[in-house]
Structure 1
Amino acid sequence: MAPLTGKTVFITGGTRGIGRAIALRCAQDKANVVVVARSASSESPIVSEIIGAGGRALAIKCDIQDEAQVKSAVDLAVEDFGGIDVLVNNATILVLKKTTDITMDEYDLMSRINTRGTFQVVKYALPHLQKSDNGHILTMCPKPQLDERWFRRNLAYSTSKFTMGLMAFGLSAEQRVYGIASNTLWPFSTIDTDGLAECGNAEFQERPRKPAIMADAAYWIVTQNSREFTGNFCLDELVLRESGVTDFEQYNVVPGTKLSELSRDHMVTDEQLERLSELRTLAGQE
């Protein structure tokens, strides 16, 4: 059987973009895939897409800011599929503004979704993940870094995403005794999603990659031994290169894009870049 056959994967923000791509990748293993989002319903296209990819699907309307809705969503997933084996914290809000420009409503929204919302979903999923024989938590955020360049322009957003990283790292330590892995995943390049289109930065949108690269990297992470692979801050291309992938043209939105021409995401660490350069050179692709 494939690694996720019969396993239940719970994905926040799973109806579009990166969350949708992860849902469909897991469905190929005949997994039970639960997607929660404010726009989700039994009529959502993602339901038929998951079924068409080979999985069993459940789409639940849920605002992760609301504790009662989160608890209900987790209960419904367990009622339908008997448990939760993988939690993917994908839901997030992006507001790229300086402190003087951001409104408090925007700040509060990022806090409630990126940090509090993520913590809330984890809290209610944990009792079920602790019963899994290979429980995984995967959070979409970068490695926290005390470097001024990440705070000069987008202080509120950077602190919210780095807080997600701190929580993910802390969960690895806290939940290790239960055999639950907690890792993070972040992209090297910008990813072609609705969120990217909404951010208004033309440079970011010029030569992005497809969400499939994040989905393939996420799949590799959550199919590892949870007692051995935990506490890692992962980069999508780095994960895939180290797992043996060599064809990265397949992920380009603009065919023929060179590695040096990709629209770079921010918050990638110097250490990750150095390791990535080494692997690209070894593959003759630098």
Structure 2
Amino acid sequence: MDTLNNRTVFITGASRGIGRAIAIACARQGANVVVAAKSDTPHPKLPGTIHSVAEEIQAAGGNALPLVLDVRDEKQVRQRMDEAADQFGGIDALVNNAGAIRLTGVENLKISRYDLMHQVNARAVFNCSQAALPYLKDSEQAHILSLSPPLNLDKKWFAQYGPYTTTKYAMTMLSIGMAEEFRRYGIAVNTLWPKTLIATSAIEFEAGGPQMMAHGRKPEIMADAAVSILGKSASELSGENLIDEDVLRAEGIDDFEHYRYEQGEKSLMPDLFLE
């Protein structure tokens, strides 16, 4: 069943990685997908732009609207939400996927980098959710889904890279708050995080290097979990901090081998913030 057919999904950071995978998975369900990211022109190292992903969405059976978006820019965020709603007649779901990472402690982290992580992670969830809210109120099956982890206050997650940890946890705490605040509007608010490392450019260039990729899964596991979440009503699922594997197991899926980035016997590495 195409649970997202004719629904409009606005995805930040959608030009590559997990955002791209979610965009294409939504398109296969017949969704209108807003590809919102800064990648307007090709990057010398990183594949994908909003335009290349829009083409993939069309090929997968969805409708695409590529929009250049910097989630730090309040005025631009509101403008892009308005453009998306004008194009497709509304917005049914917001996926806060855009992220910034630097696994460094307070002593050696530049304040400018901390500001970037705070703005692209925590502040963007506030910014984008607030801007989407008027349109989500009018949807019969509205969702806000943020890619952030369950709260794990074990000191080891703060010891080496507390700045990054606190910005990701802030995303989750805002989501917990919005789930309660927006419950009266029938808007579902949840978070999603991978059970294992996901092989993306963030891992390749910021968190472990290319050799780590073989210990991870493809972004498609997160995409399939996201589609499952977005297909449910607010009365069924809201206020939860979800893990991709658990979401898919609840759908009756228990074979995850095809999601491996590299087939073989290499062990999968748990993602950050999970035991």
TM range (shorter): over 0.9
SS at match of 2:127: helix
CA distance in 1, matches of 2:228, 2:253: 11
Tell me by how many angstroms 1:43 deviates: 7.0
CA distance in 2, matches of 1:200, 1:213: 20
Match of 2:232 among 214, 224, 236: 224
Deviating 4+ runs (over 6 angstroms): none
Tell me by how many angstroms 1:165 deviates: 0.3
CA distance in 1, matches of 2:185, 2:91: 14
1:246 maps to 254
Unaligned runs of 5+ in 2: 42-48
The answer to whether the 8 A contact 2:195-2:244 is kept is yes
Tell me by how many angstroms 1:38 deviates: 0.8
Q: Which amino acid aligns with 1:190?
A: L
Tell me by how many angstroms 1:195 deviates: 1.1
Matches within 5 A, 1:111-122: 111-122=118-129
CA distance in 2, matches of 1:82, 1:213: 30
1:7 maps to 7
CA RMSD of the aligned region, Å? Answer: 1.5
CA distance in 1, matches of 2:262, 2:214: 9
Matches within 5 A, 1:1-286: 2-40=2-40, 44-202=51-209, 204-257=212-265, 261-268=267-274
CA distance in 1, matches of 2:79, 2:227: 26
Unaligned runs of 5+ in 1: 271-286
Q: Which amino acid aligns with 1:90?
A: N
SS at match of 2:215: coil
- How many pairs does the alignment contain? 267
Tell me by how many angstroms 1:206 deviates: 3.5
Percentage of identical aligned residues: 43
The answer to whether the 8 A contact 1:11-1:90 is kept is yes
Structure 1 residues 65-97: Cα deviation after superposition (integer angstroms, max 9, x where no partner)? 011110111010001001010110000101100
Tell me by how many angstroms 1:207 deviates: 1.4
TM score, norm. by length of structure 1: 0.90
The answer to whether the 8 A contact 1:204-1:265 is kept is no
Tell me by how many angstroms 1:227 deviates: 2.0
Tell me by how many angstroms 1:228 deviates: 2.3
CA distance in 1, matches of 2:191, 2:50: 31
CA distance in 1, matches of 2:212, 2:183: 37
TM score, norm. by length of structure 2: 0.93
